[in-house]
Amino acid sequence: MLKNILADLENKDKNLIRKYLFVFAILYFICRSIILLSNHFIYFDEANAWNIAAYLDLNEILKLMKYEGHLFLWYVILMPFAKNDLFYPYSMQIINWLFAFGAILVMWKYAPFNSYIKACITLSLPFKIYALLARCYSFGILLLFILASLYPKRFKHPLIYSLLIIIVANTSVMALVGAFSLGLMFIYDLFKSGKIENISNKTLMLVFGIFAAGAFLVLAQLAGFLLPSYAVYNTSYTFEFHFMRFYFTFDIFHVCFVLLYSFLLISAGKFFKNDFKPFFFLFLTHAILIYIFLQVYAGECWHFCFIFIYFILSVWIYLSEHKLKTNFQIIYSLLFTVFCLLLIMYPSDYKMFHGTSNDLKEHIIQNIDDYSHAKIFFYPCFSYTKEIIPYLEKYKLDFYDSHGNSIRDIDAFSVQYKDMEINFPAIENLLHDGEAGYIITDTRNNTLFLKNIKQKENLSNLSVMPYKTLLPAYIYVVKKIRKVY
């Protein structure tokens, strides 16, 4: 009797600790998000998705994905807001934050972790970034967490599980890696584990039909992927450069973190020894991500965070069907807790998530009379261009890229990935006699700009005026051009 009472009291204490940890972690997550978002100027990748959703139709968005390197669902979600110019950028930020918050709630509800690990993940670096950066990643992580929660029941709901895998695959390439791995694991289970007996032939055909249609849709979007021109022209745009910049410097914290994570990866096979599938998921996702970063696209910190997300998911998948039995597994789980704790402490510079074009936006608004009677050409047509256009939409300015394409046309979204030339004949044809135009660039691209401006020497009827440096920060420069009579 006394033992039962003591056990009940112990359980009540544990439940009370869980509640306190949950409330603290969630309130901290919400307060931190509010503070960071209130000081955040939209980054160009965030704004670019809004512009695509605002100006392109669904068919054009699908065609553009091979240049974007992502998939279409995030743009479709933004379309009702972007096409009606509703509450930019707050609507986009709120949607993204709700996805990140939803992922946190799913983890607290279904993940087979103790409350300390869940609190650490809630406060970790990945969720600092994904709650702040309004892009497609939070949506994919939410769906990946839902898939992990459904993993033990995947044979009871094979159609829902397979459909969710395809939806995840169409959120981003980073989430596609996980969806592909989970899809292979599910197919293996169906054929090799005897589970196929519990599923009717009709359901099985529908599952493979869903996978086939999903694979076709992904390939149709990403076939012929092209690197963005800034990654081609900028020789420092490498995985090593970005990884060292964002994730590793030679100090005690980073060395300890890398050593711990390396040990966890190397010894993962022993931890997952009762079930090779989570081990397969861990190393397949890591191998594909490393291949992408080294051979396809160098990546940024918000891409690198998926390495940690997939490690967490592999442990989640294993613990959802297995209990810790050996002493090594218990020690490994303790080190995993330390790893999650270190993710909270991981240093990050939030300036790298901020747009840099607020001054340029304010400059154009202050001189709106000049700019409203001229044509504005952006060189190159990304970065600051994408950041300021949604804020200036109400002024109905004539924006063009350096090839003379309207900024609202699909060609303006794709040409930035093809080259960084200035097409002066095209610009000249757009200007009426005596009409002013402005070519705006940033100082990071001055060398290429000066190289391109030499083309002007062969044009007799286009007058190029001297540089005028704008703004206190000296970030942007403008050349005023005028077609002469």
pLDDT in tens, 135-164: 989 999 999 999 999 999 888 888 999 999
Judge contact between 230 and 297, C-beta under 8 A: no
Q: What is the pLDDT of residue 86?
A: 85
Least confident of 40-49, 280-289, 352-361: 352-361
- Residue 398: alpha-carbon gap to chain centroid: 30
Q: What is the pLDDT of residue 466?
A: 41
Residue 477, domain member (yes or no): yes
Residue 269, domain member (yes or no): no
Pairwise pLDDT comparison (166 vs 485), residue with the higher score: 166
Q: What is the pLDDT of residue 464?
A: 46
Q: What is the pLDDT of residue 442?
A: 61
Give the C-alpha separation, 265 to 85, whole Å.
46
Q: What is the pLDDT of residue 196?
A: 59
Instruction: Enter the tokens of residue 260.
Output: 């711990």
Q: H/E element holding 469?
A: strand 462-470
Measured in residues, the chain has a length of 485
Pairwise pLDDT comparison (177 vs 348), residue with the higher score: 177
Q: What is the pLDDT of residue 232?
A: 44
Q: What is the pLDDT of residue 471?
A: 38
Least confident of 176-190, 193-207, 315-329, 437-451: 437-451
For residues 47-58, average pLDDT: 86
Question: CA geometry: angle at 78 spanning 384 and 137, to 5°?
Answer: 75
Instruction: Enter the tokens of residue 450.
Output: 């000066």
Give me the chain's average pLDDT, please: 78
Give the C-alpha separation, 77 to 79, whole Å.
6
Give the C-alpha separation, 404 to 415, whole Å.
11
Share of the chain above pLDDT 70, in %: 74
Q: What is the pLDDT of residue 43?
A: 79
For residues 28-52, average pLDDT: 86
Q: How many domains are there within the chain?
A: 1
Q: What is the pLDDT of residue 458?
A: 45
For residues 95-106, average pLDDT: 95
Share of the chain above pLDDT 90, in %: 24
3-state secondary structure of 462: strand
pLDDT band at 240; cut points 50, 70, 90: low
Pairwise pLDDT comparison (114 vs 465), residue with the higher score: 114
Amino acid in position 16: L
pLDDT band at 414; cut points 50, 70, 90: low
Query: Which domain does 437 fall in, by range?
Result: 358-483
Least confident of 23-32, 85-94, 307-316, 387-396: 387-396
Q: What is the pLDDT of residue 118?
A: 92
Residue 371, domain member (yes or no): yes
Predicted model pTM: 0.84
Helices 201-222 + 58-68 axis angle, to 10: 70
C-alpha closest to that of 174 among 369, 304, 364, 274: 304
Give the C-alpha separation, 250 to 257, whole Å.
11
Q: What is the pLDDT of residue 450?
A: 52
Residue 316, domain member (yes or no): no
Give the C-alpha separation, 191 to 196, whole Å.
6
Q: What is the pLDDT of residue 475?
A: 40
Residue 382, domain member (yes or no): yes
pLDDT band at 250; cut points 50, 70, 90: low
Give the C-alpha separation, 435 to 483, whole Å.
6
Q: What is the pLDDT of residue 374?
A: 78
Amino acid in position 432: H
3-state secondary structure of 56: coil
Q: What is the pLDDT of residue 155?
A: 87
For residues 480-484, average pLDDT: 53
Instruction: Enter the tokens of residue 315.
Output: 């442990």
Instruction: Enter the tokens of residue 86.
Output: 């509703």
Pairwise pLDDT comparison (442 vs 69), residue with the higher score: 69
Amino acid in position 175: A
Beta bridge partners of 464: 481
Residue 401, domain member (yes or no): yes
Examine the pLDDT at 63 and tell me if it is beyond 70. yes
For residues 19-24, average pLDDT: 88
For residues 345-350, average pLDDT: 64
First to last CA, the chain: 102
Which CATH number fits the domain that encloses residue 415? 3.40.50
Residue 365, domain member (yes or no): yes
Give the C-alpha separation, 465 to 406, whole Å.
23
Examine the pLDDT at 351 and tell me if it is beyond 80. no
pLDDT band at 29; cut points 50, 70, 90: very high
Examine the pLDDT at 80 and tell me if it is beyond 70. yes
Q: What is the pLDDT of residue 480?
A: 54
Residue 468, domain member (yes or no): yes
Examine the pLDDT at 417 and tell me if it is beyond 60. no
